[in-house]
Structure 1
């Protein structure tokens, strides 16, 4: 069996690549990083090490890579593949859509077997987004045929893969925990299910459970950790005040999820506990700057802070910790992060209140908006009184 995977970075190799390999696939990675492509071509294998006490290590072999800029070569690989996956970031999907479309066009001319195309991105409806982009490049007469033979099931993915540097550029260290949840598609019913994937009939509850728990909790830890001068999530999660903010936010999002999807309260409480354990894994070093990056995206109306806060308001649930986290995100400043730079400039140039409205989409008359502004000023006073960053 053959897989084509877009994105040969740490997540692509350490998460999706490992699972596809364990399920029996030979993998062709597609990437625009010339040195990474050359390494994979030369070695044909790489190692994945788990961040646990034993340091369990797995060899992923029968792999190669091709230059993502060579559309003809990428299309040929897709035409011969049994599955296509991505882990490139949702904003990059538009850049791979033409190659995917060309591969589908070649495939439809040769055979009629079903092809799953799964975007394993940290976003709602990633595969649906990719499908729309791909169809913009497909000839009109092929779209109906593609509907019969190519499926784009949405997916939710969860595994912490921190930034890392090793002497071996292909080695990846990942946390032991993972979840890869994929929506069932009638078109793929004839294909065997892939070991390691959890298939569900309705994906939205699992996407929002992950987004509102893992992603929300992670960024709450990052933004409060940043304000207190910590460099890693693991350091921040040793601070009782940071832990209290994270737990408080996850209690709020948990109440939203239970109300919205009728999750079992005890089971969800255990899920939160598992997430908190993952954040404190001593064998991982996850930088606050990485988790906190792209604050504009993370403050957007449908993302991990604003969306659960708005739902909490709708259900009559407190969102005090979520609005505090939103305020902390507005304080996040990193000169190497374009979004952080833009956010700070906007606050300076147009003012705090218009900036909150601009980036969260919440009207200034809304009580949540007012709470964000209040918490922002309180956090600023606390930071100023402690000097550079709050006291550890």
Structure 2
């Protein structure tokens, strides 16, 4: 079995690429970083440090790499059985035309074996969004053929892969946490579902998507924003601050009540899951910056993302949201001149005021009482009258 994986960054190499290779699948990475491409193409392997209570160093083998802007991508798409991505949500639109060209070539060659595409991104139904972009670049008469021969499989992915500098200077070396979770929608595959180590097919994907989004992503973001606000540089140090920890745990418990009501999760098991997430944040072997985790605050304040979607759930199910409101106010207070969206956010607040700016970003009506509550917390934080 052969796979083409877009994105040879830390997540691509340390998470998805590793799981595929561990299963015995030949992985070709497609990326624009020529230095990394050349290194993989020359060596056909790279080291991964898996860190936690029992740390190991492993070698990922059976890999090669090509430039994602080259015509080689089209040729590979005609041959492979699986396409995966770990490029970031904004890059999916850029690679969609090349994937479309590969699909067209596949059709022209009479290729009938199934191809499944899985976007492994931190967005809800990312593959479905990727499919929409691909279909924009396909002729109308091919749509039916594509739907019959190509599966677009949504997924939920969870593994902390922070930027890490190799002690040996190896540009391919990557460090990941022990925990990983790759959930896929089993109803969307075409042909036989491949058996891949660490990939779990389910028939209720959205429950797992929201569990991860409302817990790991929500907690991670709030830890980052509160940590950055308090001049704490790492996620570990931030979550070890008892004031921050109480708010982060409280926010995840509030979002957890939404999940329990929406998907009938077992309350005791979900609270144990929350504690597991907190333990992951304080992993001493992972050195992750609050600035990195907090980046792109405008995206994270969107209606379908990690802060606003659980907040809307608390309104829907009439459960408390005090700590989520604090986390959102902290995101609005994120002032990082090295982050383009943080600069844009500050300018938007200066121009429109925090209430209107938040309403525009989140889609929540400016007259909703929640918006006033967020403004009050935001102002207190601005005046250094908060934690």
TM-score tier after normalising by the smaller chain length? over 0.9
Give the drift of 1:137.
1.4
Post-superposition CA distance 1:161-197 (Å, at most 9, x none): 0012221000000000000000013653534432320
Contact 1:53–1:283 (CA<8 Å) still a contact in 2? no
Unmatched segments (≥5 aa) in structure 2: none
Q: 1:187 to 1:229 in 2, by over 3 A?
A: closer
CA contact (8 A) 2:152 2:189 kept: no
CA distance in 2, matches of 1:266, 1:277: 17
- 2:15 aligned with 1:15, yes or no? yes
Following superposition, the deviation at residue 351 of structure 1 comes to: 1.7
> Are the counterparts in 1 of residues 153 and 189 from structure 2 also a CA contact under 8 Å?
no
Q: Out of 246, 253, 260, which is 1:251 matched to?
A: 253
- Aligned counterpart for 1:194 among listed residues 188, 193, 196: 196
Q: Quote the residue 1:309 is aligned against.
A: 311
8 Å contact from structure 2 (residues 159, 180) kept in 1: yes
Cα shift at 1:359? 1.6
Deviates more, 1:218-227 or 1:190-199: 190-199
Aligned match of 2:170 in 168, 171, 192?
168
Q: Residue 294 of structure 1 is aligned with which of 296, 300, 305?
A: 296
3-state SS, counterpart of residue 185 of structure 1: helix
Number of the residue aligned with 2:158: 158
1:97 is matched with: 96
Confirm or deny: 8 A CA contact 2:116 2:190 kept in the other structure.
yes
Report 1:59-138 matches (<5 A): 59-70=59-70, 72-108=71-107, 109-138=109-138
State the secondary structure of the residue aligned to 1:160. Answer: coil
Q: Aligned equivalents of 1:98 and 1:148: distance in 2?
A: 20
Secondary structure of 1:110 counterpart: coil
Q: For 1:281, what is the secondary structure of its paired residue?
A: coil
Which residue in the other structure is 2:283 paired with? 281
Secondary structure at the counterpart of residue 372 of structure 2: helix
Contact 2:77 2:102 in 1 (8 A): yes
Shift of 1:131: 0.8
Length-normalised TM-score, structure 1: 0.95
CA distance in 2, matches of 1:309, 1:196: 31
Give the Cα separation in 2 of the matches to 1:54 and 1:126.
Answer: 33
* 358, 361, 366: which one aligns with 2:360: 358
Comparing 359-368 and 244-253, the one that deviates more: 359-368
Deviations 1:256-307 (A, max 9, x none): 1001111010111111111111011111111000111101011111111111
Residues 357, 262 of structure 1: alpha-carbon distance in 2 compared, 3 angstrom cutoff: same
Change (3 A) 1:191 1:53: closer
Candidates 211, 223, 226, aligned match of 1:224: 226
Secondary structure of the corresponding residue to residue 382 of structure 1: coil
1:347 paired residue number: 349
Measured on the aligned residues, the alpha-carbon RMSD in Å equals: 1.3
How big is the shift at 1:61?
1.1
With over 3 angstroms needed to count, the CA separation of the structure-2 counterparts of 1:266 and 1:294, relative to structure 1, is same
| 1:377 partner SS | helix
Q: Deviation digits for residues 295-342 of structure 1, max 9, x if unmatched? A: 101111111111111110121111111111110111111111000000
Structure 1: how far apart are the matches of 2:195 and 2:53? Answer: 32
TM-fit CA distance, 1:153: 0.9
Residue 195 of structure 2 aligns to a residue in which SS?
A: coil
- Matched residue SS, 1:138: coil
Which among 375, 378, 381 is matched to residue 377 of structure 2? 375
Are the structure 2 counterparts of residues 265 and 228 from structure 1 closer, same or farther at C-alpha, using a change threshold of 3 Å? same
- What's the secondary structure of 2:324's corresponding residue? helix
User: CA–CA distance in 1 between the matches of 2:236 and 2:185?
Assistant: 33
SS in 2 for 1:116: strand
For each residue in 1:96-146, what CA deviation from the matched residue of structure 2 results, as whole angstroms up to 9, or x when unmatched?
A: 111111211222323211111000000011110111111111222222111
Cα distance in structure 2, aligned partners of 1:218 and 1:66: 33
Q: CA deviation at 1:34?
A: 1.3
Q: 1:252 to 1:53 in 2, by over 3 A?
A: closer
